[in-house]
A and B are shown apart, each in its own frame.
Chain A
Amino acid sequence: MELKVKKVERIDGVRESFYIPAAFGGLRLTVRHFFRNLFGSKDVVTINYPEEKRPVSMRWRGRHRLTRKDDGFLKCVACYMCETVCPAKCIHIEAGEHPDFSIEKYPARFDIDELRCVFCGLCVEACPKEAIRMDTGVVAMAYSSRKTFDFTRDLLRDEYDPRKHDSPKYGDEDLPRPESKESALPNSQGIPAV
């Protein structure tokens, strides 16, 4: 194959060698940007992160949450589908026997280790009851202790966001953990949901 030679045209001459026309051309561009941004930051696209947050789309896979039925109880039936499909093995479920005989099982424990989670979304796809979703919009989780990343059932259910807590110190001692497991028992026999 014959090699093709492309000759790059070099602009020489007095006009180029004194740099002044080129300098003025450049100045025209930068001055325009300067004055546009001096009066009202028109071109600035920066999001001042901790104060402003970038809106995420509805399909963004953020932190998990457990959805609830209209009566306030968890939709989860403890079928272990998500735990089985999870490639990172970060979901741990313990099924409990429900007092209401019309409901077979409920999750006595539903723990997600968010540090192990790879946010693949397979658990959401696997769930037959639409009980688990990743639509909280919590983009960044940054806490100072590993234990804080272990989200238990009640923390997941409450759509709890530590950053929205009144005193966001990000320590696990600041997390409002539920008093007892029974208080969150999902049933239809008049035991309060929360």
Chain B
Amino acid sequence: MEFIIEILSIPIIQSILKIIFIILLFAMPLGTVLTLMERKWSAMIQDRVGPNRANIGKYTGHGLLHIAADGLKSIFKEDTIPHGANGFLYLIAPFFGMIAGVATFAIIPIAGPIGDFTFQVTDIEPGLLFIFAITSLSVYGAVLAGTSSNSKFALLGGTRASAQMISYEVFMGLALMGIFMVYGSTRVSVIVDGQNEYWFGNLIPMWGVFTQPLGFFLFFTALIAETKRAPFDAPEGESEIVAGYFLEYSGMRWSAFMLAEYIAVAGVAVLMTTLFFGGYHVPWLHLWESAPQWLITILQITKFSIVTIFFCWIQIQLRWTLPKFRFDQTMSLGWKKLLPLSLANTTLTAVVVLTFM
């Protein structure tokens, strides 16, 4: 027993265990369930029933078995490589997006620290800069898939995806400058703890959404564009370029692209929760001073999960509400409107922070 505790107290073992837990118990299940939830929720929005046919005997679980059915189906499908494709790049491309999606979870705290133990894989000093670096990496997934497929449609899709993602990355960073200035750090734990302060006594928590309302909208828009989902789904287009950059993929590699999209959705949700909705901090919980530590941790995980699921839901809701932008609209919205707005937001925040704080 002591031996086990000794091993568990080694930092690297702890990190590996946290990685396994956060990826296997949070990121992957969330992404997987979202593939079904997108179909179910869109059905509700459009007054349909949605998937409910996959069954074991009489049991369908309201369509829950479709996850297993889809997974099994794509595992057993043939993994084709198109003639003339660059085999190596073609084979590794799907995993860039997936790695980028999963890596987001590395710096997200899902509950407050207990003593020395943190519910966070690593709390690095660059913090959100790491997120920017990683999301830029996900562009490579689209570009490599597009160029290596030896298909005109895939190439066009990859070009569109890279142009869009690079454009929106510019003000994604700028939109967060306000947050860095208000909370005074790029380190995630500092930003999260900064959101546990209150205005007007104990009235309003200093969440990012209240301190940076414009930054919230800008960052959310930029992140939706990064996930390449509607209304910014120009990289895909049924009528023009079919599925876009992952057109030629089949089987499990195609599923990897789909799963990467949903893990990215979950990643966006945890980022929004952490940066703009107080992270794991339950508002006004500090007023209850005699609360036991275990209850606080459970409440924090619950609050974090609820807000995360809410943001997953709002993204899916947006996708089934808004029509897709034309490509020039996407570009002009990004460069001509949102970029100046985020610059203005940064300047305004800088003035306010310098004057009043």
Contacts and interface: CB of A to CB of B under 8 A. Distances in A.
The 8 A-B residue pairs whose C-beta atoms are closest, nearest first, are A37-B44, A26-B321, A43-B47, A46-B49, A30-B321, A30-B45, A34-B44, A34-B45
A151 to B, nearest CB: 31
A34 B317 contact: yes
A27 B52 CA distance: 26
Nearest to A42: B47
Given A17-B337, A19-B333, A34-B41, A29 B321 contact: yes
B287 to A, nearest CB: 32
A30 B320 contact: yes
A140 B23 CA distance: 49
Contacts of B320: 30
Interface string A35-62: 0011001011110100000000000000
Contacts of B43: 37
8 contacts: A30-B317, A31-B317, A33-B45, A37-B44, A43-B47, A44-B49, A45-B47, A46-B48
A5 B317 CA distance: 39
A27 B337 contact: no
A1 interface: no
A26 B48 contact: no
Contacts of A19: 322, 333
Contact of B47 (A18, A26, A27, A33): A33
Contacts of B217: 20
A26 B44 contact: no
B317 A18 contact: no
Q: Which of B43, B44, B52, B317 has the most CB of A within 10 A?
A: B44
A27 B333 CA distance: 20
Interface of A: 17-20, 23, 26-27, 29-31, 33-34, 37-38, 41, 43-46, 48
A23 B49 contact: no
Nearest to B341: A18
A25 to B, nearest CB: 9
B321 A27 contact: yes
Nearest to B329: A19
Nearest to B49: A46
B7 interface: no
A48 B49 contact: yes
Contact of B318 (A27, A29, A38): A27
A31 B318 CA distance: 10
A29 B322 CA distance: 11
Nearest to A24: B321
B47 A37 contact: yes
B293 interface: no
A84 B98 CA distance: 70
Contacts of A27: 317-318, 321
